[in-house]
Amino acid sequence: MNSSIPFKSIFLATGLSLATIHAQPAPSPGANLNKAIGIDLITNKSLWEDDVSAVAQRLKLPPESTTTHEKSFRTYPDSSSKLFGARPYSIALYGTDGKPTRLSIMYLNRGDYGNLGDLYNMLAKESTKGKERSTLEKQLKDTLAAFPPAFKQEEATLIKNLTIAFGPAKPYRAGSSNSVMKERGLRWDSADHAILLSVVDTQYISLKIIPSKTVDAPVNKVSDTALKERLRSLVQKRPCGDVVITDIPMVNQGPKGYCVPATMERMLRFVGIPADMYILALAAGSSGATGTNVDSMMNAVSRYIELQGRRLQPFQANFKVSYLAPVINNGIPLLWAMNSSDAFNKATSDQTKQRETAIQNPAQWKEVLKKLKKEAHKADRSGDRKAEKAGSTGHVCMIIGYNPITDEIAISDSWGPDFAERWITVDQALAVSQGPMFLINW
């Protein structure tokens, strides 16, 4: 091009005028992010200025939990879904006071890859023998061998697409070097959005979009005094004698045996510590089929909780209401390991439904519970309880309340709103308890 041609003439030669160029709207700060993710995620200048429910609607995320200050949304997409050019297995959006605070996406991971869960389950059965066992063992071997190259390919795809959209990345690290929950990865920034891609020990690939200032600022711990006051304010005392901790976030564990990480996420978020069920599960070596070892989870998160200025403590399993009351009165839920079965859960839900109106007369309801106890003893003698125990599986839930008049405790399971508060007697709790309890303290 002849350098002597006036700048203005270049536009005239292409049919454009300077006025036309000046009239073009400047691209919004979120345009690159929208294009890279493949949806209109941002409609305002910043995701953090938007309404969290509107963002969830654009992402087609169903609501999961609503508390006084928090909202969360979660979905488990099918294989046709793509975000940043790769398949997400879980998408979770979190918001505080109506505004988004974090978008968390789980990509390829050992808990979801292939059909590993089904294969492990089939091989664990004593009835799986001979040719069937040999076939399953080969499938398992092939699936495990295919995971590392698939993992590298997915990592490369995400890095390529993010780099095209946002330019060169910066290294990103989170967590203490002696914490199982440490993460390493890459960071990109788009306006005030930090995009963090974490790749952890050929275990999982996750991506978080959070405010840049949240990444750059140190942990802003709520004071012990303020936390104590807030938790106590959430304890509800009802005329019928119920004492219940309210406003605990719900997390639906979905199709996996993730009751331990889902319950732990609920407990962490309740005391103001950011958490993601999937990250917790994989850090603790969870299997989507067989679940999570409670001790492994406690070991995995204890250091992380310490870094947030709190403590994870064991609590002696004792179902006397007088023993549980001081903890519940302070607004501290307990994580409880127990045996669960279809029969137990149906009976618990039916009993809770019956209780809704009957508890208005606590003394009368207490008499009903005595009859239920006698029926349970008859079931023991007939062998029904033994059959139920054989069908039980290990489970974790929260203890969130008690009633000193009726000698009941309230439990909360990570299966959605219908299981946020159910009631069982102390005797029923003793019959299914595995023992360990834990709490988060200051």
Distance CA 102, CA 42 (A): 13
Kindly state the tokens that stand for 128: 């799986």
pLDDT over threshold 70, residue 291: no
CA 348 to chain centre: 24
Between 353 and 109, residue with greater pLDDT: 353
Percent of the chain with pLDDT over 90: 52
Between 10 and 435, residue with greater pLDDT: 435
Between 374 and 84, residue with greater pLDDT: 84
HEC assignment per residue over 128-192: CCHHHHHHHHHHHHHHHHHHHHHHHHHHHHHHHHHHHHHCCCEEEEECCCCCCCCEEEEEEEECC
Residues 368-375 have a mean pLDDT of 84
What residue ranges do the domains of the chain occupy? 31-114+124-216, 224-441
User: pLDDT for 119-167, tens place per residue?
Assistant: 776 777 778 888 888 988 898 888 888 999 999 999 999 999 999 999 9
With tokens 């023992």, the residue in question is 435
- With the CA atoms of 374, 375, 378 and 383 taken in that order, what torsion angle do they form, in degrees rounded to the nearest 10? -140
Distance CA 238, CA 152 (A): 55
Distance CA 366, CA 409 (A): 13
User: pLDDT for 304-351, tens place per residue?
Assistant: 898 888 999 999 988 999 999 999 999 999 999 998 888 899 999 999
> What Å distances lie between residue 342 and 183, 189, 346, CA to CA?
38, 48, 6
CATH H-level superfamily of 224-441 = Cysteine proteinases (3.90.70.10)
pLDDT over threshold 90, residue 218: no
Task: Identify the helix (H) or strand (E) that includes residue 263.
Answer: helix 259-270
Maximum alpha-carbon separation in the chain: 103
